Amino acid sequence: MAKLKTKIHELRKERNLKQDELAKLVGVRRETIGALENGKYNPSLKLAMDIANVFNKTVEDVFEFIDEN
């Protein structure tokens, strides 16, 4: 089974963005950003693209599937 790994936390820190600030930029709650960063939530394609656009990155730059087998 594959697990989704994100670089959201690292990208936020590089830009000095708080979770709530990123959440407002992409139209979700702060808790959603926290859940994404902690691997407890998989984003919709639209949300993944919106987050990537905030950081001027591709979806693949921000999100990566890791094979756990």
Picking from 59, 11, 66, 69, the residue whose alpha carbon sits closest to that of residue 39 is: 66
Please report the pLDDT score of residue 19 as a whole number.
98
What is the three-class DSSP state of 19? helix
Does the pTM surpass 0.75? The reply is: yes
Buried b (16+ CB within 10 A) or exposed e, 11-24: bbeeeebebeebbe
Low pLDDT (below 50) residues in the chain? none
Assess if CATH 1.10.260.40 describes domain 2-67: yes
Please report the pLDDT score of residue 67 as a whole number.
82
